[in-house]
Structure 1
Amino acid sequence: MMERAMEQLNVQLNRLTRSLRRARTVELPEDNETAVYTLMPMVMADQHRSVSELLMNSKFDVNYAFGRVKRSLLHIAANCGSVECLVLLLRKGANPNYQDISGCTPLHLAARNGQKKCMGRLLEYNADVNICNNEGLTAIHWLAVNGRTELLHDLVQHVSNVDVEDAMGQTALHVACQNGHKTTVLCLLDSGADINRPNVSGATPLYFACSHGQRDTAQILLSRGARYLPDKNGVTPLDLCVQGGYGETCEVLIQHHGRLFQTLIQMTQNDDIKENMLRQVLEHVSQQSESHYQKILTSLAEVATTNGHKLLSLSSNYEAQMKSLLRIVRIFCHVFRLGPSSPNNGNDMGYNGNKTPRSQVFKVRQGQGTRRRDPASVRETRVSEHTKHSLQEPLELLWHSLEEWLVLISAELERNRSDPAAGADIASLLLKQPLPEVVMETAGTYAQGEDVISMTANRLSAVIQAFYMCCSCQMPQGMTSPRFIEFVCKHDEVLKCFVTRNPTIIFNHFHFLLECPELMSRFMHIIKAQPFKDRCEWFYEHLLAGQPDSDMVHRPVNENDILLIHRESIFQSSCEVVSKSSNEKLKQGIAVRFHGEEGMGQGVVREWFDILSNEIINPDYALFTQSADGTTFQPNSNSSVNPDHLNYFRFAGQILGLALYHRQLVNIYFTRSFYKHILGIPVNYQDVASIDPEYAKNLQWILDNDISDLGLELTFSVETDVFGAMEEVPLKPGGMSILVTQDNKAEYVQLVTELRMTRAIQPQINAFLHGFHTFIPPSLIQLFDEYELELLLSGMPEIDVADWSRNTEYTSGYDQDEPIIKWFWEVVHSLTQEERVLLLQFVTGSSRVPHGGFAYLMGGSGLQKFTIAAVPYTPNLLPTSSTCINMLKLPEYPSQETLRDRLLVALHCGSYGYTMA
């Protein structure tokens, strides 16, 4: 024992002596595991003197592998660029080719991180550049991935095979092309890399360059003789470029392989390729020059014509050919509107992102054109009227065939009408006539007993839609082509026959009706006869066209996108924030937060609309007055008592338009006449009853009776109250001296009605409509009548408890057979209508039910049914709600009486001010 103690004491004294001599308190522990963690931070900091001193008399194994990846200190030095420590370790016998658990040597790590000096030293000590890691990667793979060309030049002279493959069969050239490292690609090619070497999937370096849109890399490969090869699945480099929308790379491919231009055009018929990507590519290619522009449009027109004639052939697949034709025409119109750009100097093929304004394509004047950015080399590009028409010339063949069909059908309809005894259906008659060639081609395919309209209406209507699109792209935005208007008027009878037989044609193909009031008026009676639901879907389809998909509530990027509302002054603060907000952002979505409250989400948005709609009709603002029955509201003719009344009317229009846009309901019911004003429908004397029932009766009496000898002595003027003073107002010029007679009494009644219901409040109506039309175009809202508009804006006025219970879901342990659920619905049945509204508002944030009932209740991300979730019961616990998901969190009350009591407390105390619960 004594001897062992003395031995330990001597060891400690020796350590103390060495420590004092070296002026350090740290010595290298004797075991490798502890020693390596002492040395590692010094190696990382390249403190080579300290490392050298610690290793001087140590038995530490410099090749000791540690950690989960089993790396040595040489790996650490190479990874961190600690050159001096790396050399020291190599001199001490560190193995430059030692591989960690992933198969990486120190050279791999030095190459990956671009540690040039470390790479040089490792090579001096015979590091093997051809060693692959577990993924098959060599040091040159790492250099190629990161584009370290300078280091690659030093390394390739030590490489026996520059085309060594990784586990996926990819060489350094593959990865350099994928990442677009031009100088690295050149270096590898100069070093003998195989330019056409495929990987295990058959993908060549050119394929890799195109898959990531590396235009310059693809240019190098093609100029060096790279072959245009598909992979093993038949996917070509051009396919990859189009799928990614890489227009510049497509242009390079077409430059070297001209046959690919027609392949690109044919891709417009491939439904698997996204249309927006095709547009992007063709847009770029067309921008290079006027010749590119013309060639693309002519080719697209030819393909569209071929597809259109296939569509008119009854032997073709209607759905496939219809989608293909409309897709090609949409792309054609998109490119047509752009016009070509002038090319730049240099190697960027002239693409500078500029687009010829649409007006330069449609109407070219001297001096117009898109100019190059380089002012020293300015060249104007113009599209002549002759060129503009010639670009669509191939399509004229299709329009001619369409015209022949419609004329033929019209003639046979007329023959049937004049000779009903003929008895044959139209198809039979057609088959007996000498038909145009295109008709003869398809006539033999008619099914026995099926008439030509049934067989062709959808096909012809799709071609009509294509015709409209092509006509429209030649016109300034918002204008309908006179040629197309003339076409519809000429074939009005046949088109009406089509939509009468098959009304879905209106919604599928006759979109032009929404953009041209003159044409819409011809078909309005047919459209109004269609189901309300179908018109609603058509309304929202076009209203939201072009808007990105998003939740109903916009999740803003920053605080500036949130509508921050002061609850105590909700009308004024809302008016202020809405006026400052971008209309486009408001269309994309709404985020509302009440000042001083945490709640945000769909429930808060619905609460905002609900409270604000009540404020709009607040008598303090004098904007609206109650109707005679006290349940509906009409603009106040004396609203000018409020100096800001017209601004407020415009704001009220914005709120109702915004609510309709986002399918939110408002807690307002207007008079029928006001709904008519919104829709642009003329009012009539019956509408007067909403504000003055007795006066409406008097007007009715005048119309129903002969007033010739009654001596009424009425003139075309009326007395009206203006702020307490009676003023006589003429109904038309000189009206005060024009007597009302039996002959003109109908005109008198209409003019009186217009004065009371329209002229007296015309400025208010105009201001309201200005705000409303900010979000809802007049062409769309006219799809509905005044009763349907009320349903759209305010929902169903009554709550159907049976419908409510049928469309309720249960979660967290509840189901419809639970006693507490039965108690709940018994309580709801016993509530007053007002209490039911409070309950609905408490759970959903809205006091209204959408058209169609509870099955169409909206949540934060679309349709969301009313839901009841179980919550453990504790005494006095109140129900809570999550308004964003329409969920009532109902505690498991012990009795129906307790449930009723707690529910009513919650409703009367918590209907406003939702939180994030």
Structure 2
Amino acid sequence: MEFLKDLAASLRSARTVELPKDEKAAFYMLMSMVIGNQYRSVSELLSNSKFDVNFAPGRGHRNLLHIAANCGSYDCLLILLKKGVNVNQQDVSGCTPLHLAARNGQKRCIDKLLEYKADVNIRNNEGLTTIHWLAVNGRTEVLHDLFAYVPDVDVEDAQGQTALHVACQNGHKSTVICLLDHRADINRPNHNGWTPLHFACSHGQHDSADILLRKGAKFVTDRFGKTPLGLCLEGGYSETCSVLLQYVPNLMEHLVTSVRSEKIKEADYFKVLKHVCSQGNEVADRVLMSLSEEASMIGHNLLSVSSNVEIQVSCLLKCVKVLCKLYSHVYQPPPSPTTPTTPKGLQGVMRVSPKATQVFGPLEALWQLLADWLCLLKLEFNKDNNQNNKDNNKDNKSDSHNQDSKEHTQSQEQTQENSDTPDTASAIVGRDCNQEVDPRSCDQEGILKSLCVDQDVVGVILPRICGVVHAFYICCTCQHGHPQMTSPRFIEFVCQHNKELKLLVARSPEVIFDHFHFLLECPELMSQFLHIIRAQPFESRRRWFYDNLDTEGSNREIIHSPPNDDDVLVINRERMFYSSCEGLIKQPLDKLKRGLAIRFQGEEGMGSGVVREWFDVLSREILNPDYALFTQSADGCTFQPNSNSAINPDHLNYFRFAGQTLGLALYHQHLLNVYFTRSFYKHILGIPVNYNDVASIDPEYAKNLQWILDHNIDNIGLDLTFSVETDVFGAMQEVELKPGSASLPVNEKNKTEYVQLVTELRMTRAIQPQIDSFLSGFHEFIPQALVQMFDEFELELMLSGLPEINIEDWRQFTEYSGYDENSPQIQWFWEVVEGLGQQDRVLLLQFCTGSSRVPFGGFSHLGGGGGPQKFTISQVTYQPQLLPTASTCINLLKLPEYPSKSELKERLMVALQCGSQGYAMV
């Protein structure tokens, strides 16, 4: 009968009526019921069993009371309490049921636990008590009822933090007020000396900070000298900083001097000061003037030689950048399109606004100090030159002759210095470098004398001067008010100190990349330093090129999973050229710069491998003679714009598209399987062509030009004039090489000019519209100021990579998955590759990586979807007739375990011939 009774009860309740004898199984059965607050079922099961309600299995060591308190299952919690469960039992982290109920704000559970003598003072492993848990989560309504049980509202956790600390950190305003109303210590420090105000400021809780300051919180430093203001600045919490300044106005000085802190980022610092300046022009003027004075102090300290150069340069540049950004934000001096051009002779005294003069006035002393230093360095350079000349002359000449030579050298140098210095330069920096420096007005001479005799004076001061020059440029640009133009004042400064700056750069060329960014924005100045820049290592210039290519700092990446379909270029393989052209026109430039997402119509694959193939195929398609855009040069390998491309009525738009394609590839560092003539690369770089370039399109004609230059052509009957006949679609036309020169004869005196003009006609004028259209598209992505730092050979290297595939380099930078370098299949694979011709090697490279070119730097610089990605060969289980496959996005070749070298080679060649293009998801 008992069995039937239990059976009926089980069927009616749709569950068992008895707990399993195994306590762990019983616990987990009850746990699900407790979570759902199925108190009747829990009550019945517990009443019919001997289950230990304190049983706490698993790594968490939580019993059923922990579960009920955590979930707010009040009825189950009451049943467990009546069953005699240990109300203060702690889990593995030291938390009691009361802690869990407090953390989740389970008020009814808390009240009942307190009724059953739950201890509010028990600490978990981190020292947190119940009041801490309530404060952490802002359970103010429960906190009020708990104070009757809490003997010390300032009870500390293991780090010395009170409930007020954590409430301020998390910004629970009502909880903060409640704790303060119950006499929580408003200035109590934790073990590191952080007060509640520190916690509020460290997390930007401006409301909590306002409450604390209104209640009388003190502004103090912690054990390590950190202040609440410093914490605000490190986090960029502008509103909280404003609250601090409202209650403690004298913090303004500390706010400005905080620019020296290495821990405060420029963007965060600017954000805070921008908010402070929004309170009105009076506050803004105070901030700007203080920043200007601080920048001047930092700069003077930097030029004192005794300071840490890296730290001081960084501080100075941060200070002036923030100063200029703030000035532009507050006053926004708009460039007037109607402003008349300043006469050249007056550029040095160009008018600036009174406000700019006021704000940047404190820095004038620093700029004067910079000019004085450059004057002293000129003296040092002259001394070195004179000494070198003297030493050299001692070996070859008598003393009297040596003296004459020395005077002659000095005279030459003086003449050169005078010619390099513009007449208006003294109006810019206030002193001519040819004047003697007054020791009473500056102390640089004393500094020089104080340096060790063996110490390299120029080496010590060089990075400091360059840092101040950088700061001077930033300030001049801001004061000038025309961001699209380089400040005339700065141009005059560089012209006046041209010789010294060039000598500094010659001593330490890397300063160009660190501080001479102004060269990129001023063609006049770039032309003076371009030969020095081009003399620097290619890799350094290449790195500087990409560092400055995207001034807005957007990430250049290949989008694998684009945010929406509008960002995907869907390309029709059958109409590769036209489809790509139409797609690029529709995409905004900023989107194309941020990243590329390509999918071929009817194919599923996407990713970096698809993008690489698109560039590779499209670059070859642009050279398709059907479009008449480019013609093959005499060497059969390179291409030149077609002078007769007008046969295609839309040819100039297509040249612009070709320029966009090459510019986009260079921007995203994708190599193209295309090579142009040296003369065309020169056109891209702005380098003049010469008669040697003619050989690429007409070798025999180039030889004839060379013959003219090598021989006297007077009286040999050539009868040449400064005009040539050209074939334009079958009609011969006479073209003058220069206006009115059709009858001007070519002779020995003017033959060099003739050769240059006829070269420009053949190589430039004949295709000028095509070049201009191409460059209009190319410069949408690649500024002329940046690309001109390379020569034509380097540009080809950046666009097309290494011309040969080095098997040893490939093998050296290959990784293996499942195989190792001694596996038979790997040995056979490399033997097969070494036996391949160049064309098949290119096919293999494209099959594995999606590109037929090796990047600059070799195979160690192969790139994948997320950055550098080495070529990898992965083991695949052998099956008869199974071909190798590849994942081009990660440069992975999946090579089956072929039983013989012959089968491996056969299967590999089939894969190369049939599968070097096309994508599908497997």
TM-score, normalised by the number of residues in structure 1 = 0.82
Of the candidates 763, 772, 788, which is equivalent to residue 794 of structure 2? 788
Tell me the equivalent position of 1:239. 230
1:464-863 → structure 2 map (5 Å cutoff) = 464-474=469-479, 475-548=481-554, 556-700=562-706, 717-733=723-739, 746-808=752-814, 812-815=818-821, 823-863=828-868
Tell me the equivalent position of 1:205. 196
Matched, 1:390 2:358: yes
Deviation of 1:212 (Å): 1.1
Of the candidates 185, 191, 196, which is equivalent to residue 176 of structure 2? 185
Tell me the equivalent position of 2:375. 407
Of residues 747-756 and 503-512 in structure 1, the stretch that sits farther from structure 2 once superposed is: 747-756
Tell me the equivalent position of 2:445. 440
Specify the SS of the correspondent of 1:444: helix
Q: Using the alignment, how far apart are the partners of 2:384 and 2:32 within structure 1?
A: 99
Say whether the 8 Å CA contact 2:103–2:134 is kept in structure 1: yes
Say whether the 8 Å CA contact 2:6–2:17 is kept in structure 1: no
Q: Using the alignment, how far apart are the partners of 1:892 and 1:28 within structure 2?
A: 61
Q: Using the alignment, how far apart are the partners of 1:287 and 1:781 within structure 2?
A: 41
% identical equivalent positions: 58
Say whether the 8 Å CA contact 1:96–1:106 is kept in structure 2: no
Deviation of 1:518 (Å): 0.2
Q: Using the alignment, how far apart are the partners of 1:416 and 1:772 within structure 2?
A: 46
Of residues 510-519 and 329-338 in structure 1, the stretch that sits farther from structure 2 once superposed is: 329-338
Letter in 2 for 1:286: C
Of the candidates 245, 258, 267, which is equivalent to residue 254 of structure 1? 245
Specify the SS of the correspondent of 2:188: coil
Q: Using the alignment, how far apart are the partners of 1:803 and 1:84 within structure 2?
A: 73
Specify the SS of the correspondent of 1:188: helix
Of the candidates 428, 449, 468, which is equivalent to residue 463 of structure 1? 468
1:10-89 → structure 2 map (5 Å cutoff) = 11=2, 29=18, 64-65=53-54, 68=57
Say whether the 8 Å CA contact 1:315–1:442 is kept in structure 2: no
Of residues 201-210 and 283-292 in structure 1, the stretch that sits farther from structure 2 once superposed is: 283-292
Of the candidates 147, 158, 161, which is equivalent to residue 152 of structure 2? 161
Of residues 456-465 and 390-399 in structure 1, the stretch that sits farther from structure 2 once superposed is: 456-465
Q: Deviations over 1:134-166 (max 9, x none)?
A: 654444433322223333334434543323334
Of the candidates 133, 143, 161, which is equivalent to residue 134 of structure 2? 143
Letter in 2 for 1:304: A
Say whether the 8 Å CA contact 2:557–2:668 is kept in structure 1: no
Deviation of 1:792 (Å): 1.6
Distance 1:743 1:332, change over 3 A: same
Distance 1:181 1:740, change over 3 A: same
Q: Deviations over 1:816-854 (max 9, x none)?
A: x66665554443333222122222223332222334444
Distance 1:456 1:203, change over 3 A: closer
Tell me the equivalent position of 1:4. none
Deviation of 1:480 (Å): 0.9
Give structure 2 stretches of 5+ with no counterpart.
Answer: 339-351, 393-405, 411-433
1:116-131 → structure 2 map (5 Å cutoff) = 116-117=107-108, 119=110, 129-130=120-121
Q: Using the alignment, how far apart are the partners of 2:866 and 2:35 within structure 1?
A: 52
Q: Using the alignment, how far apart are the partners of 1:715 and 1:185 within structure 2?
A: 95
Matched, 1:265 2:265: no
Distance 1:207 1:905, change over 3 A: same
Distance 1:142 1:785, change over 3 A: same
Q: Using the alignment, how far apart are the partners of 1:881 and 1:212 within structure 2?
A: 49
Of residues 476-485 and 287-296 in structure 1, the stretch that sits farther from structure 2 once superposed is: 287-296
Letter in 1 for 2:363: L
Deviation of 1:863 (Å): 4.4
Of residues 841-850 and 398-407 in structure 1, the stretch that sits farther from structure 2 once superposed is: 841-850
Of residues 694-703 and 831-840 in structure 1, the stretch that sits farther from structure 2 once superposed is: 694-703
Distance 1:772 1:62, change over 3 A: same
Letter in 2 for 1:517: P
Deviation of 1:400 (Å): 0.8
Of residues 300-309 and 172-181 in structure 1, the stretch that sits farther from structure 2 once superposed is: 300-309
Q: Deviations over 1:767-790 (max 9, x none)?
A: 211221121110011101222211
Deviation of 1:220 (Å): 0.9
1:847-886 → structure 2 map (5 Å cutoff) = 847-869=852-874, 875-886=880-891
Q: Using the alignment, how far apart are the partners of 1:14 and 1:511 within structure 2?
A: 92
Say whether the 8 Å CA contact 1:703–1:746 is kept in structure 2: yes
Say whether the 8 Å CA contact 1:51–1:85 is kept in structure 2: no
Letter in 2 for 1:516: C
Q: Using the alignment, how far apart are the partners of 2:388 and 2:876 within structure 1?
A: 73
Deviation of 1:195 (Å): 1.4
TM-score, normalised by the number of residues in structure 2 = 0.82
Q: Deviations over 1:458-482 (max 9, x none)?
A: 3322221221122123233232111
Deviation of 1:680 (Å): 1.4
Of the candidates 213, 227, 251, which is equivalent to residue 218 of structure 2? 227
Distance 1:398 1:702, change over 3 A: same
Letter in 2 for 1:394: P
Q: Using the alignment, how far apart are the partners of 1:162 and 1:416 within structure 2?
A: 75
Give structure 1 stretches of 5+ with no counterpart.
Answer: 1-8, 340-355, 366-383
Q: Using the alignment, how far apart are the partners of 2:386 and 2:76 within structure 1?
A: 106
Deviation of 1:197 (Å): 2.4
Q: Using the alignment, how far apart are the partners of 2:698 and 2:16 within structure 1?
A: 105
Deviation of 1:17 (Å): 9.8
Q: Deviations over 1:882-905 (max 9, x none)?
A: 434444444555554444433333
Deviation of 1:549 (Å): 5.7
Of the candidates 270, 278, 286, which is equivalent to residue 269 of structure 2? 278
Deviation of 1:288 (Å): 3.0
Q: Using the alignment, how far apart are the partners of 2:16 and 2:509 within structure 1?
A: 92
Q: Deviations over 1:358-388 (max 9, x none)?
A: 436x8899xxxxxxxxxxxxxxxxxx93232
Say whether the 8 Å CA contact 2:560–2:865 is kept in structure 1: no
Deviation of 1:182 (Å): 0.9
Q: Using the alignment, how far apart are the partners of 1:421 and 1:133 within structure 2?
A: 81
Of residues 132-141 and 208-217 in structure 1, the stretch that sits farther from structure 2 once superposed is: 132-141
Letter in 2 for 1:667: N
Number of matched pairs: 862
Deviation of 1:485 (Å): 0.1
Specify the SS of the correspondent of 2:451: coil
Deviation of 1:209 (Å): 1.1
Q: Using the alignment, how far apart are the partners of 2:442 and 2:151 within structure 1?
A: 70
Distance 1:792 1:59, change over 3 A: closer
Q: Using the alignment, how far apart are the partners of 1:587 and 1:52 within structure 2?
A: 63
Matched, 1:909 2:914: yes
Q: Using the alignment, how far apart are the partners of 1:164 and 1:460 within structure 2?
A: 56
Q: Using the alignment, how far apart are the partners of 2:688 and 2:542 within structure 1?
A: 23
Root-mean-square deviation (CA, aligned residues, Å) is: 4.2
Specify the SS of the correspondent of 1:183: helix
Specify the SS of the correspondent of 1:208: helix
Q: Deviations over 1:801-826 (max 9, x none)?
A: 444445555564423x6666555444
Say whether the 8 Å CA contact 2:558–2:607 is kept in structure 1: no
Q: Using the alignment, how far apart are the partners of 1:698 and 1:516 within structure 2?
A: 40
